[in-house]
C-alpha cells in the first residue's frame, strides 16, 4: 500500500546523532509514512545504525550513492519517494511526535500546496530554545496565505520544517543545487509558486546546534562556505528580480542584514592570503543589492560597505574584529562603540579617521541612543518585592550626572518608586552606574490587579532622555520569578506581560495547590478552589487532550490522587530531545469557568523515579502547577557557596560522577573540572573549589584564547561514559543568580534553557 508521506533523510558522518533522529521519526503519531535514508557515501558507522532501523521497521529503507553533498542526496531521496506528501529531515536533527500529523491534517483541510511549522534549536549543553530564524515567519497560525500577503514568509529559509504536496513539488520540478545553503533558493521559489501555504506556531522540528561548530552554519566564515552563501544569495536574487516590490525589497533587506553582515564579519578571521578573494566575493553580492536598501542599513553596516567598495582591507579587518570580539556587545547588528560624554555626538569609530569613506558614516545615529533595560534579580525581602536591573542609554557612559526615575503603573496610574542606584556591568562589559533596585511594599502590591502592572523607566543623561517599560528578563529569577502571599487571600506573581515587559499581577483567592504528599505509588495533591464543586482536569498543552482527575471535596478544599504507574506507562514524549511530556492542571466550576492552578505549595519540587523514568510535580515560569514525565536525568535543586567551595545538590537517582565542563571554541573537545561527590538522605552533593573555575587557574591562555571569558556547564557522567548536562530545577532557577567574587573575577551561577551554568568574567 502506498504511504501518504515520504520522509527523505540524507546522512553523512552522523553516527553520533542519526539514531536519535530516526527514533524521533519512528515515534510519530502519523504512522503512514516511508522513510528513505540516503547514504551519501558516509565513511563512519552511520549506515550501520540506518540498516538496523531498516531491518526492524519496514517503513525505513536505504538508498546508497557516492558522496555528492546534501542537496544531491535530497534529490536522490525524492526520486525514490512515492508518497502523496513529501518532507525532509536532516540526519542530526529531530522531529516532534505530532509534527507530521499536524502539518498533514492542515493540508488535508485547506488544500494548500505546503505547510510549515515552528522550529527549536537544541544541544546538550544549552538545552532547548526558540529558533530566532523562525520567530517572525511562524508567529501565528495562518491558513491558506501567500508570501505576497505575509511578507515575513520571505524569511523562511529552511526546507525541513515543512510538508509539501508531492504533486506541487513535481509540477515545478524542484531540485536542490549542489552547494551549501541549498535550502533558500528552493524554499523561496516554493513560496512564490504556491497558490496558498499554511503556517503553524507549534514547533514541529528540532534543529541541532552542535557544541563543536562543525555544522555548515557554524563554519560560516570559511571561504568555501562563503562562496556557496554568495551563490545561494544570487539564486535567490534571480527569483525575485521581477517579483512584487514588497517581496523584492524584503529579500534584498534580508540578504543585507544576514548574508552581507556575515561576509563583513569574516574579515576578522580570514587568513591574509584570502583577504582579496573575500573582497571580490563580498563585492559580488553587494553589487547586486538595491542601493535604496543599502542606504537604509545601519551606519556601522554602511561604514563596512563603503570600506569594501574602497578595497580598504585594513579597515575591514579592524571593523570586523571590533564587531566580532565584543565591540557590539548587547546590541547585535545595531550596537555601536561607546560615546564619550553624553553631549558628544560626533564620536569617530576607533582607527577610522583617515579612512577614505564618507565622514557622515562616522557619526552615531540618534535612534541608536535608545534606552535599554534589563531585569537581573527578583527576590522577596521582609514581605516586599525587590527587583534589580539595569538602565542605560545605549552607547553612552552612565555616570553621576544622569538621573533615573522608575514608577509602577497600575491600571494607568503611575506610582513613583524609591530607586537605589549602584554600579553594574553595562552593555559594553564595563562597570558603570547602570544598576538599580526598587522595592515594592505590601501596600503598593495590594493595589495591583489581575492585569499586569508594569514599570515605567525614565533615564536622563545630558541632553538625552529615554523612556520605556522595564524589559529584558535575564536567566534565573527574572525568568522564573517567585510569587508570594501578601495576606491570607492575595497572591502576587511577577512575570512577563503580553508584549514582553516585566509585570506584576495580583490574584485574589486563586485556585491553588497548597501541599503535596508522596506515597509509594502516587502523588497526593491538596489544594483550594476559588469556587464551589470544582472538577480537576489535566491536559497536555503540546499534543492536546485532557482527562479528569477524581476529587475528594471538603467545601472548596480538595484532594486528588495521581497514580505514578499509569503516567509512566503512557510515555509518549512531546519533546523529542529531552523526551519529556508536560501536563497542566485546571479547575472547572459547574458553570464552566476555568482557572489554572497556582503553585503555593512551598519551594521544592516533588519527584518519583521508577523504571528509568521520573515524574515531577513542580511550577511553571508563570507560577502554575506543572507535571513533567521524562527519562531520569540528574537535576539540581540547590546551589550554595560554602567557604571556598561551590556546592550543588539534587535528588539521588543513580551512581554518577559530576564535573563542570567547558567546551573549547570550534571543537567538541572540552575541559572538565571534577567535583567531589557525596551522598546523604537529601540526595547527592557535588562540590568544586571556586578558584578552579576561574580561567587563569583552570585554563592557560595558550590553550584557550578565550581564557578571559568562561562558561562552565555542570555535567553528570554515568558509569557507561554517557553524560548529560544537569537540569536546573525551576525552584532553584527562581533563587538564582548566585553571584560570587574572587579577586578581579566575578562568577554567576545561572540557568540557561534548563541547564546549570557558571559564567566567569
Q: Kindly report, residue by residue over 183-193, the tens digit of the pLDDT.
A: 999 999 999 99
- How remote is the C-alpha of 321 from its chain's centroid? 26
In this predicted structure, the answer to whether residue 328 has a pLDDT above a threshold of 90 is no
Enter the DSSP assignment of 473: B
Which residue is associated with the grid cell 501536563? Answer: 583
Describe the crossing of helices 46-56 and 18-26 by its angle, rounded to 10 degrees: 20
207 vs 50, 82, 117, 121, 214, CA distance in Å? 20, 26, 12, 5, 14
Mean pLDDT for the stretch of residues 248-274: 94
Q: Which three cell numbers stand for residue 241?
A: 528580480
In this predicted structure, the answer to whether residue 330 has a pLDDT above a threshold of 60 is no
Taking only the tens place, the pLDDT of each residue in 598-647 is 999 999 999 999 888 999 999 999 999 999 999 999 999 999 999 999 99
Query: Are the C-beta atoms of 325 and 337 separated by less than 8 Å?
Result: no
* 529 conformational bin, left if phi > 0, alpha if psi -120 to 50, beta if neither: beta
Identify the band that residue 292 occupies on the pLDDT scale cut at 50, 70 and 90: very high
In this predicted structure, the answer to whether residue 690 has a pLDDT above a threshold of 60 is yes
Better-predicted residue by pLDDT, 507 or 680 = 507
The residue ranges of DSSP E strands in 633-709, in sequence order, are: 635-636, 638-642, 645-650, 657-663, 670-674, 676-680, 683-689
In this predicted structure, the answer to whether residue 298 has a pLDDT above a threshold of 90 is no
Q: What is the pTM of this model?
A: 0.86
Q: What is the pLDDT of residue 126?
A: 77
Taking only the tens place, the pLDDT of each residue in 426-459 is 887 788 999 999 999 999 999 999 889 999 999 9
Phi, psi angles (nearest 5°) of residue 517: -110, 150
Q: Which three cell numbers stand for residue 71?
A: 542537496
Taking only the tens place, the pLDDT of each residue in 208-221 is 986 644 444 445 67
Mean pLDDT for the stretch of residues 566-583: 87
Mean pLDDT of the chain: 89
Q: Which three cell numbers stand for residue 213?
A: 561548530
Mean pLDDT for the stretch of residues 730-743: 94
Identify the band that residue 542 occupies on the pLDDT scale cut at 50, 70 and 90: confident
Q: What is the pLDDT of residue 84?
A: 98
Taking only the tens place, the pLDDT of each residue in 596-605 is 999 999 999 9
Q: In terms of residues, how long is the chain?
A: 761
Percentage of the chain beyond pLDDT 70 is: 91
Mean pLDDT for the stretch of residues 549-571: 92
Identify the band that residue 363 occupies on the pLDDT scale cut at 50, 70 and 90: low
Mean pLDDT for the stretch of residues 471-484: 95
The Cα 300–Cα 306 span in angstroms is: 10
Nearest residue to 152 via CA among 251, 14, 269, 47: 251
The Cα 94–Cα 28 span in angstroms is: 11
Instruction: Give kind and range of the element (H or E) at residue 616.
Output: strand 613-619
Query: Are the C-beta atoms of 28 and 35 separated by less than 8 Å?
Result: no
Q: What is the pLDDT of residue 113?
A: 98
The Cα 402–Cα 462 span in angstroms is: 7
**Which of these ranges, 168-177, 327-336, 375-384, 688-697, has the smallest mean pLDDT?**
327-336
Q: What is the pLDDT of residue 738?
A: 96
Identify the band that residue 357 occupies on the pLDDT scale cut at 50, 70 and 90: low
In this predicted structure, the answer to whether residue 666 has a pLDDT above a threshold of 70 is no
Residues 6+ apart with CB under 8 A from 10: 38, 40, 70, 73, 74, 76, 77, 90, 91
Q: What domains sit in the chain, N to C, each tagged with a CATH number?
A: 5-208 (3.90.550.10), 220-367 (no CATH), 371-504 (2.60.40.10), 512-630 (2.60.40), 635-760 (2.60.40)
The Cα 501–Cα 369 span in angstroms is: 20
Instruction: Give kind and range of the element (H or E) at residue 568.
Output: helix 564-569
Instruction: Give kind and range of the element (H or E) at residue 277.
Output: helix 275-286
Mean pLDDT for the stretch of residues 742-758: 91
In this predicted structure, the answer to whether residue 345 has a pLDDT above a threshold of 80 is no
The Cα 664–Cα 705 span in angstroms is: 9
Taking only the tens place, the pLDDT of each residue in 66-91 is 999 999 999 999 999 999 999 999 99
Q: What is the pLDDT of residue 246?
A: 95
Q: What is the pLDDT of residue 696?
A: 60
In this predicted structure, the answer to whether residue 329 has a pLDDT above a threshold of 80 is no
The Cα 419–Cα 437 span in angstroms is: 6
Query: Highest-confidence range of 98-112, 608-622, 668-682, by mean pLDDT?
Result: 98-112
Better-predicted residue by pLDDT, 128 or 660 = 660
In this predicted structure, the answer to whether residue 709 has a pLDDT above a threshold of 80 is no
In this predicted structure, the answer to whether residue 43 has a pLDDT above a threshold of 50 is yes
549 vs 152, 553, 572, 612, CA distance in Å? 43, 12, 20, 25
Amino acid at each position: 500500500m502506498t504511504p501518504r508521506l515520504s520522509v527523505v533523510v540524507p546522512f553523512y558522518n552522523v553516527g553520533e546523532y542519526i539514531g536519535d533522529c530516526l527514533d524521533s521519526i519512528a515515534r510519530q503519531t502519523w504512522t503512514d509514512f516511508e522513510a528513505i535514508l540516503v547514504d551519501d557515501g558516509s565513511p563512519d558507522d552511520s549506515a550501520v545504525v540506518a540498516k538496523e532501523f531498516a531491518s526492524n521497521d519496514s517503513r525505513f529503507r536505504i538508498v546508497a550513492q557516492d558522496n555528492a553533498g546534501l542537496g544531491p542526496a535530497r534529490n536522490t531521496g525524492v526520486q525514490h519517494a512515492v508518497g502523496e506528501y513529501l518532507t525532509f529531515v536532516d540526519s542530526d536533527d529531530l522531529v516532534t511526535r505530532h509534527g507530521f500529523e499536524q502539518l498533514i491534517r492542515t493540508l488535508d483541510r485547506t488544500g494548500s500546496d505546503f505547510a510549515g511549522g515552528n522550529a527549536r534549536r537544541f544541544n546538550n549543553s544549552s538545552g532547548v530554545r526558540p529558533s530566532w530564524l523562525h520567530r517572525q515567519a511562524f508567529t501565528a497560525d495562518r491558513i491558506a496565505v501567500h508570501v505576497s500577503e505575509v511578507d515575513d514568509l520571505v524569511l523562511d529559509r529552511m526546507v525541513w520544517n515543512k510538508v509539501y504536496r508531492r504533486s506541487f513539488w513535481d509540477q515545478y520540478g524542484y531540485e536542490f543545487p549542489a552547494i551549501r545553503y541549498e535550502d533558500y533558493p528552493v524554499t523561496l521559489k516554493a513560496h512564490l509558486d504556491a497558490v496558498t501555504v499554511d503556517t503553524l506556531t507549534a514547533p514541529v522540528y528540532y534543529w541541532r546546534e552542535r557544541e563543536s561548530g562543525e555544522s555548515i552554519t557554524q563554519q560560516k566564515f570559511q571561504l568555501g562556505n562563503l562562496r556557496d552563501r554568495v551563490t545561494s544569495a544570487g539564486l535567490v536574487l534571480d527569483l525575485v528580480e521581477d517579483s512584487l516590490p514588497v517581496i523584492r525589497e524584503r529579500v534584498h533587506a534580508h540578504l543585507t542584514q544576514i548574508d552581507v553582515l556575515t561576509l563583513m564579519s569574516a574579515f576578522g578571521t580570514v587568513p591574509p592570503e584570502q583577504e582579496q578573494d573575500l573582497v571580490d566575493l563580498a563585492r559580488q553580492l553587494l553589487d547586486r543589492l538595491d542601493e535604496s536598501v543599502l542606504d537604509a542599513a545601519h551606519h556601522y553596516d554602511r561604514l563596512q560597505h563603503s570600506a569594501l567598495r574602497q578595497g580598504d582591507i585594513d579597515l575591514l579587518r579592524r571593523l570586523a574584529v571590533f564587531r566580532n570580539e565584543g565591540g557590539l556587545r548587547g546590541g547585535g547588528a545595531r550596537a555601536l562603540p561607546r560615546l564619550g560624554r553624553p553631549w558628544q555626538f560626533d564620536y569617530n569609530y576607533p582607527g577610522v579617521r583617515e579612512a577614505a569613506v564618507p565622514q557622515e558614516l562616522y557619526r552615531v545615529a540618534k535612534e541608536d541612543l535608545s534606552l535599554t533595560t534589563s531585569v537581573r534579580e527578583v527576590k522577596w525581602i521582609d514581605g516586599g518585592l525587590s527587583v534589580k536591573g539595569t538602565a542605560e542609554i545605549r552607547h553612552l557612559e552612565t555616570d553621576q550626572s544622569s538621573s533615573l526615575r522608575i514608577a509602577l503603573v497600575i491600571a494607568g496610574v503611575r506610582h513613583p518608586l524609591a530607586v537605589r542606584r549602584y554600579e553594574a556591568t553595562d552593555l559594553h562589559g564595563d562597570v558603570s552606574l547602570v544598576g538599580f533596585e526598587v522595592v515594592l511594599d505590601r501596600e503598593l502590591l495590594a493595589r495591583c490587579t489581575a492585569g499586569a502592572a508594569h514599570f515605567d523607566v525614565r533615564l536622563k543623561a545630558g541632553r538625552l532622555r529615554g523612556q520605556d517599560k522595564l524589559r529584558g528578563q535575564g536567566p534565573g529569577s527574572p525568568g522564573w520569578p517567585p510569587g508570594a502571599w501578601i495576606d491570607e487571600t492575595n497572591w502576587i506573581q511577577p512575570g512577563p506581560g503580553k508584549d514582553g515587559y516585566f509585570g506584576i499581577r495580583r490574584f485574589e483567592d486563586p485556585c491553588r495547590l497548597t501541599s503535596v504528599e508522596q506515597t509509594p505509588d502516587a502523588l497526593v495533591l491538596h489544594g483550594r478552589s476559588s469556587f464551589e464543586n470544582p472538577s480537576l482536569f489535566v491536559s497536555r498543552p503540546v499534543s492536546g487532550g485532557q482527562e479528569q482527575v477524581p476529587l475528594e471535596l471538603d467545601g472548596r478544599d480538595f484532594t486528588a490522587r495521581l497514580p505514578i504507574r499509569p503516567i509512566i506507562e503512557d510515555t509518549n514524549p512531546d519533546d523529542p530531545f529531552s523526551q519529556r511530556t508536560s501536563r497542566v492542571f485546571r479547575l472547572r466550576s459547574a458553570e464552566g469557568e476555568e482557572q489554572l492552578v497556582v503553585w503555593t505549595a512551598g519551594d521544592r519540587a516533588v519527584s518519583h523515579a521508577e523504571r528509568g523514568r521520573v515524574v515531577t510535580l513542580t511550577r511553571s515560569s508563570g507560577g502554575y502547577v506543572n507535571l513533567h514525565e521524562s527519562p531520569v536525568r540528574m537535576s539540581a535543586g540547590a546551589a550554595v557557596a560554602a567557604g571556598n567551595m561551590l556546592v550543588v545538590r539534587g535528588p539521588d537517582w543513580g551512581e554518577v560522577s559530576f564535573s563542570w565542563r567547558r567546551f573549547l571554541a570550534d571543537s567538541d573537545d572540552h575541559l572538565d573540572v571534577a567535583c567531589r561527590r557525596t551522598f546523604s538522605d537529601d540526595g547527592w552533593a557535588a562540590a568544586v573549589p571556586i578558584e578552579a573555575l576561574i580561567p587563569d587557574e583552570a585554563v592557560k591562555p595558550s590553550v584557550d584564547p578565550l581564557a578571559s571569558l568562561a562558561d562552565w556547564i555542570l555535567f553528570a557522567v554515568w558509569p557507561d561514559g554517557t553524560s548529560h548536562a544537569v537540569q536546573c530545577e525551576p525552584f532553584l532557577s527562581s533563587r538564582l543568580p548566585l553571584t560570587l567574587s574572587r579577586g578581579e573575577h566575578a562568577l554567576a551561577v545561572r540557568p540557561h534553557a534548563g541547564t546549570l551554568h557558571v559564567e566567569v568574567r
